[in-house]
Amino acid sequence: MSNFLAGYNYRKLHTMNGSAGATTGYVVKIKVSNEAGSDTADTVYLNGRSLNFPYDVTFTSTDNTEYNFWVDSSNTFYVKVNENLESNVDMYIYYSNSTSTSNRSNGANTFLLFDDFNNYFYTSTGLITEHAILKNNKLYISADGLYILNADTGVVLHAYTAGTQAQCAPVIDNAGKIHIMSTAGSWVKKYDESTGLERTTTFTLPDYETLTYDSINDNIIVQTTSGLKAIKASDHTTVWTNTDVTYVSAMCPSALIVGNCVYAQDDSTGKTVKALLTTGVTQANTTLNVNAGYATLMYDIDHNYVYAFAYTAHTVYCLNADTLATVWSKDVSGAGYTIMRTGNYHNNVLYVPFRNSSSPYQSKVVALDVTNAGNILWTNTTSYDANADALNGIIDDTYLYIPTYDYLDGNYKKVMIIKLSDGSLYTTYTQMGNSSCAALLASGGRIYLGMYDTKISQMIKIRNGGTVGDCEYKGNTYRTGYVSGALSGDFLADYGSQWNNADSFEVNNGTLSKYAANIGAVKKYITNASTFVFPLAIETRMKVGSDWNNEDGWNFGVSCDSAWASKGMLCGHYRDASSNYIGAYVPFPFPVLVSTSTGIVADTWYKYTFLCGTASTTHDFLSVNDATVLQFSGGYTTTGKNIFLFTGRNSSNSDYTSYFDYIHVRRWTDLEPTHSIWGEEEKTFKTRSPFTNKNILQNAGKKIKTSINIAPKKKVWI
């Protein structure tokens, strides 16, 4: 018996019979049940042995290399076999592992294309979600009060209205209390997350992006028209006031904490000060040609620099953090531009967005070499539509992510993803609305942003895994000024799973939905023809809502040329001659309806599987809940492929809602590998201690007295 996979108690051997064209990485389906039963070709029974079903089930090669797999809601495992399945391949199923309690199902690593719509949410909160922080897997949003959302689903956990629009991102103190500020309301409020408002303190406040929290002294730094103040987080009483800086504008930079000092900038005179956190006494100051603007001060820990950004003077100042002496300054644009927000620092380069000071508000991004007097390494000018204001971004090792606010026609609502190496546009990601968020938030491979005009929170998952932590506008956060430092890794590892036109859909709790008006679709355009080559198996799970009124409609489709109507197909539900609603599809350019015997009713999930043949195989299959129909349609080409998710109805019907649970794409061969019989259940061999006798263990190392009776020899007579 070969060695068992560590931690597992049982296994069974299984043989897949090879098939021409399957090759390596082919995905096979195996149904797994923890009930008692007799194994069949594609179904295996674990007879109650699983301890955390299905989390303690895995598949391996005979040398115990684990395969990638994905599990659907019926406990069908889609297993990606590493070996070449053109020949027979042996594998093991392992089960019964008390320590395996997490879901290791991974569609992204199993299929060519996979989406279960857990990668992002769009949630309409009815709030202007311009300012937020992310902490403890919750979004804390300043709106007309304080709103707390689940960061995974967007569900509102707590809502505390204050009646006046809050102006900046919250802070959370050492005791877990939340503080927000409003210019319009002239107040700072303190909240308990569970019970709500605890304190309101009145100040005359300018408009800025964030409160700043001094966690060492448990004080909140507040910028008021009478000076820079430190107030106690506990009761909001004033600890000190620095009058070397005053604030009068509608827009002013936020304060920055570095070590035991706070840096602040006067919005009218450009005076910049460094003051002690304990007393507020000024330690250094300088006057720069800066005035009103939201571009906060930034700290560069690598070089001990503080960066200041001139709003109308379109200049970046690099200051010595100890003395505030100017190390260098750089006019990034010339007349006619303003620096509205702050920059992003990474590996000796400062990336700064700026825009036209008047319509059309077109934006640019420059990369400045901070070790060479701010020398401009590149300027990005091609990424933006007219009036698309580039806002604060966030950065990782490879890309800069910047949301936009389109002032004119709102037709450019995108997160732009720019290569750090040369400033070229890598790709864009659709925003649901104009983003006026002061900065993106990022954690665990997710990017969060708020839409000012549509009052919607949007979360986008850009990659699997990645940096996990809290993102705040903390003034004592280095590198990027507002949010946590330059993020590690590559955010775009699973970027290809996104869909375009997704902003017209709702995505919540892992379900994509749309209230349809005729045919409206999200579309995934498959661009890598070398990877996505027909024949393919495409599967989705979908349903129509309770608002469906027994009408014809379409749910998903495939196009193999420029559009589905020229060469492709539509799947959906259709009324037959007997007025029954059945699963059906129409292949194009042949307008032939092909139907299954599967009846369709509202609020019931159906699994549609479409096996797409090629021009040489000249056929394809439709399966609805595994009831298969064969249709000869001429097959498909190998280029120009699109996959659509529709929320479609025929034009004469009334609107209704369609829902999608997942979609995945895998390679398919006409004669798929088949399942052989399952081997007998094997149990791991557990060695026992050689010292199992209780008396031996108790007396180990002791001298043991014993008496031995030797029988006398008997006489033997001859």
List all residues 6 or more positions away from 381 whose beta carbon is below 8 Å from its beta carbon. Answer: 364
Closest CA to 572 of 666, 664, 645, 499: 645
Which SS3 state, helix, strand or coil, does residue 90 take?
strand
- How much is the pLDDT for 373? 97
Q: Is the pLDDT of residue 628 over 80?
A: no
Q: Is the pLDDT of residue 692 over 80?
A: no
When pLDDT is cut at 50, 70 and 90, the band that residue 633 belongs to is low
Distance, in Å, from the CA atom of 128 to the CA atom of 192, rounded to the nearest integer, reads 22
Strand partners, 406: 388
Amino acid at 475: G
Where are the chain's structural domains? 10-110, 120-205, 212-331, 346-493, 502-667
List all residues 6 or more positions away from 237 whose beta carbon is below 8 Å from its beta carbon. Answer: 231
For residue 345, what are its two tokens?
């620092």
Q: Is the pLDDT of residue 561 over 80?
A: no
DSSP string, 606-644: EEEEEEE-BTTT--EEEEETTEEEEE----B-SSSEEEE
DSSP string, 335-363: TTEE--S--EEETTEEEEEEEESSTT--E
For residue 364, what are its two tokens?
């640019």
Percent of the chain with pLDDT over 90: 29
Closest CA to 415 of 492, 405, 351, 424: 405
When pLDDT is cut at 50, 70 and 90, the band that residue 695 belongs to is very low
Q: Is the pLDDT of residue 406 over 70?
A: no
Shared fold status for 346-493 and 502-667: no
- How much is the pLDDT for 463? 44
Q: Strands, DSSP E only, in 234-391? A: 238-242, 256-258, 261-265, 271-276, 282-287, 298-300, 305-309, 315-320, 326-331, 337-338, 344-346, 349-356, 363-369, 375-380, 388-390
When pLDDT is cut at 50, 70 and 90, the band that residue 283 belongs to is very high
Question: pLDDT per residue over 143-167, tens digit each?
Answer: 778 888 887 777 789 989 877 766 6
616 alpha-carbon distance from chain centroid: 40
- How much is the pLDDT for 635? 63
Q: Is the pLDDT of residue 676 over 50?
A: yes
- How much is the pLDDT for 444? 61
Q: Is the pLDDT of residue 141 over 60?
A: yes
Distance, in Å, from the CA atom of 220 to the CA atom of 212, rounded to the nearest integer, reads 6
What phi and psi, each to the nearest 5 degrees, are found at residue 327? -85, -45
Decide: 545 and 656 in contact? Cβ < 8 Å.
yes
- How much is the pLDDT for 529? 43
For residue 179, what are its two tokens?
């503080």
Distance, in Å, from the CA atom of 555 to the CA atom of 659, rounded to the nearest integer, reads 9
Decide: 483 and 473 in contact? Cβ < 8 Å.
yes
Question: What number of other Cβ atoms are within 10 A of residue 399's Cβ?
Answer: 23
For residue 359, what are its two tokens?
């319509």
Distance, in Å, from the CA atom of 641 to the CA atom of 113, rounded to the nearest integer, reads 13
When pLDDT is cut at 50, 70 and 90, the band that residue 388 belongs to is low
Output 259 or 52, whichever has higher pLDDT: 52
Q: Is the pLDDT of residue 630 over 50?
A: yes
- How much is the pLDDT for 473? 46
Helices (H) and strands (E) in the chain, counts: 2, 58
Query: Mean of the pLDDT values across residues 273-293?
Result: 88
When pLDDT is cut at 50, 70 and 90, the band that residue 468 belongs to is low
When pLDDT is cut at 50, 70 and 90, the band that residue 239 belongs to is very high
- What CA–CA distances, in Å, run from 394 to 352, 391, 403, 425? 11, 10, 9, 15
List all residues 6 or more positions away from 638 whose beta carbon is below 8 Å from its beta carbon. Answer: 529, 533, 534, 614
Q: What does the mean pLDDT of the chain come to? A: 77
Element at 682 (helix H, strand E): strand 682-683
Distance, in Å, from the CA atom of 101 to the CA atom of 181, rounded to the nearest integer, reads 43
Distance, in Å, from the CA atom of 587 to the CA atom of 249, rounded to the nearest integer, reads 63
Q: Is the pLDDT of residue 128 over 80?
A: no
Question: pLDDT per residue over 10-58, tens digit each?
Answer: 999 999 999 998 999 999 999 999 999 999 999 999 999 999 999 999 9
- How much is the pLDDT for 349? 92
Query: Mean of the pLDDT values across residues 347-360?
Result: 82
- Model confidence, pTM: 0.66
Q: Is the pLDDT of residue 712 over 50?
A: no
When pLDDT is cut at 50, 70 and 90, the band that residue 133 belongs to is confident
Domain 346-493 - what CATH class?
A: mainly beta
Question: pLDDT per residue over 651-660, tens digit each?
Answer: 667 778 888 8
Say how many CA atoms lie within 13 Å of 425 toward its Cβ. 15
Decide: 67 and 80 in contact? Cβ < 8 Å.
yes
Distance, in Å, from the CA atom of 708 to the CA atom of 714, rounded to the nearest integer, reads 18
Distance, in Å, from the CA atom of 70 to the CA atom of 666, rounded to the nearest integer, reads 12
Q: Is the pLDDT of residue 556 over 50?
A: yes
Query: Mean of the pLDDT values across residues 445-465?
Result: 58
**Check: CATH 3.90.550.10 for 502-667?**
no
Say how many CA atoms lie within 13 Å of 561 toward its Cβ. 10
Say how many CA atoms lie within 13 Å of 239 toward its Cβ. 20
Q: Is the pLDDT of residue 701 over 50?
A: no
Lowest mean pLDDT among 175-179, 218-222, 581-585, 644-648: 644-648
Residue 47 gets which letter from DSSP? Answer: T
Output 707 or 336, whichever has higher pLDDT: 336
Query: Mean of the pLDDT values across residues 415-436?
Result: 75
List all residues 6 or more positions away from 709 whose beta carbon is below 8 Å from its beta carbon. Answer: none
Q: Look up the CATH number of domain 120-205.
A: 2.40.128.630
Amino acid at 408: L
Output 700 or 583, whichever has higher pLDDT: 583
Distance, in Å, from the CA atom of 215 to the CA atom of 200, rounded to the nearest integer, reads 21
Q: Is the pLDDT of residue 220 over 70?
A: yes
- How much is the pLDDT for 320? 96
Residue 526 gets which letter from DSSP? Answer: E
Distance, in Å, from the CA atom of 519 to the CA atom of 554, rounded to the nearest integer, reads 8
Query: Mean of the pLDDT values across residues 176-202?
Result: 91
What phi and psi, each to the nearest 5 degrees, are found at residue 449? -150, 155
Q: Is the pLDDT of residue 646 over 90?
A: no
- How much is the pLDDT for 435? 60
**Check: CATH 3.40.50.720 for 212-331?**
no
Amino acid at 386: A
For residue 273, what are its two tokens?
């000060």
- How much is the pLDDT for 700? 46
Closest CA to 552 of 636, 699, 658, 629: 658
Lowest mean pLDDT among 165-179, 288-302, 483-497: 483-497
